[in-house]
Amino acid sequence: MQSRMHPKYYLSPEIFEREQQKLFRKAWLFAGLKTMLVEHNAFITRKIAGIPVVIQNFHGEIRAFENVCLHRNALIQTEAVGKRPLVCAYHAWRYNAEGQVDHIPDCDAIYGFSAEEKQELKLREFALHSVGNVLFINLDKHPFPFEEQFSVAFIDLLESSSNSYDTEVMVTTWHAKFNWKLAYENLRDANHPRFVHPKSLAKTVKFIPSVDQPAFQESNSPLSETSPSALRQEMRRFSYGGADAPINDLPHFGWHDQVQRWGSQDMYYNWLAFPNLHIASANGGFSFTVEHHIPIAPDHTDIEIYWFTTRKKQPYAFSNQVLLAQMHGSKVVVGEDVEIMEQVQAALHMDAPLPTQGAYEATNRLVERWYTTLMANDHEI
C-alpha cells in the first residue's frame, strides 16, 4: 500500500517549476475576496505562479491585470491592498479599466510614440470568476471553463456560504518551511486532529476518519483516461465542502447575536478548493477562516490567512476585538499544523522511504495518482 509520492516531488526545483507551469498557470486559483474590493479603485495585489497580479474595482467592475507597467517593468500597485487609480509611480503612466494606457505625461514631447504605438500599449488581462464573494483567477491565455474544475454542488455551497461574508477582514501571512502539497495531504487527513490538536481543535470538534473502500481500491489502479478533459474531470473530485464534523457544546458568545449566522447546524464546516484554498468555519457558521497556501519554493509555502465574521446585523464597537480573538485562536491550530509539516519536510531526502498509506487515505492516494500522472508525462489540464 505504498504511495506514489517519491520525496523528489517535495524537494526538486525542476518539479516545482513544472508544477507552476502545468498546474498553477493552468488551473483556476483563489484570487481574493470581493468584500475587500467594494469601492471604486479598491485593489488587491498578489503574485501567482511567479506573475505579479493586480485585481481592481473600476466603478463596480472587477478586473485582473498583470501588475507590471509597460514602460520600465515597475509594479503599478505596490501595496498588498489599497485604493488608488491604476497609475505607475515611476513615470506616472495611467491605465484605464481595459488595461489600456490612457495617459503618459509629456508623451508627444519626450516619448515620440505614434497613435498606433500608444493603442498597442495594453496590460495583459487575466480571466476572473466570482463565486459569491470568492474570486478565482486563471492565468492561461485560453482558460478552460470554471465548471470543469469544480462541481455544481461545490459551487452552489461555496456561493451560498460566501454571500454571507462580512466586509471587515483581518489578514496575516505565515512563512512556513514545507512544500505546499503537505498542507493538503494534512487537510484531507481526518485522523490527525486527535494527535496533533488534542488540546485545541480536537477538544471541541470530533473528526472521525472513515474508509471508502471502492475509492481505496480504485487508487491502486492507474488512471484509465489521461486526456485534458479527463484530467479536469478527475480534478473535480478533489474539491468539496460542507459540514465536516460535529461541534460538541458549541459555546455562545455575545457577538453571535450581532451577526447573521450562515446555516443552523453546530458543525465544523470545511471547504477544500483544489489545489491550494481552504475555507473553514469552526463555530457553526458565525465566522470563517480562509487559508490560501502559496507555493514559494519546493520547501517554502506562504500561508495567507483571512478572518471575518458573517454579515453584521448592524455595526458594533468591538468587532475588531472579535477578529483579533479569532486570529489568536486559530494561530494555535495553524501553528500545530505548521510545526508537524515542517518536521516532515526537514526529514525528507531523495533516499527517504516512501510513505505507507492506509485505506482511510484514499482521497490523498487518488490525488497523488492524478498529480504524478500530470507531472510525469506530456499531459495537460
Q: Are 344 and 178 in contact (CB under 8 A)?
A: yes
Cα 82 to chain center, whole Å? 20
Report pLDDT digits (tens) over 42-67.
999 999 999 999 999 999 999 999 99
Q: Which residues of 139-156 are buried (b: 16+ CB within 10 A; e: fewer)?
A: beeebbeeebbbeeebbe
Q: What is the pLDDT of residue 1?
A: 44
- Segments of the chain scoring below 50 in pLDDT: 1-2
Q: What is the pLDDT of residue 178?
A: 98
**Contacts with 161 (C-beta within 8 Å, 6 or more apart), sequence order:** 132, 241, 262, 263, 269, 271, 279, 281, 285, 288
Which amino acid is located at 264 in the chain? Answer: S
- Secondary structure of the chain: what % helix, strand, coil (to 5)? 35, 30, 40
Report pLDDT digits (tens) over 56-103.
999 999 999 999 999 999 999 999 999 999 999 999 999 999 999 999
Q: What is the pLDDT of residue 2?
A: 46
Q: Which of 216, 277, 271 has its CA nearest to residue 31?
A: 277
What is the strand order of the sheet 240-246 is part of?
170-176, 300-309, 287-297, 277-281, 267-273, 240-246
Asked if CATH classification 2.102.10.10 holds for the domain at 29-142, the reply, yes or no, is yes
For residues 213 and 313, give the distance between their C-alpha atoms in angstroms, rounded to a whole number: 46
Q: What is the pLDDT of residue 223?
A: 92
**What dotted CATH number matches 1-25+153-381?**
3.90.380.10
Residue ranges per structural domain of the chain: 1-25+153-381, 29-142
Q: What is the pLDDT of residue 378?
A: 85
Q: What is the pLDDT of residue 70?
A: 98
Strand locations in the chain, DSSP E?
29-33, 42-48, 51-58, 61-66, 81-83, 94-95, 101-103, 125-131, 134-138, 170-176, 240-246, 267-273, 277-281, 287-297, 300-309
Q: What is the pLDDT of residue 33?
A: 98
The single residue listed with the C-alpha cell 481592481 is 56
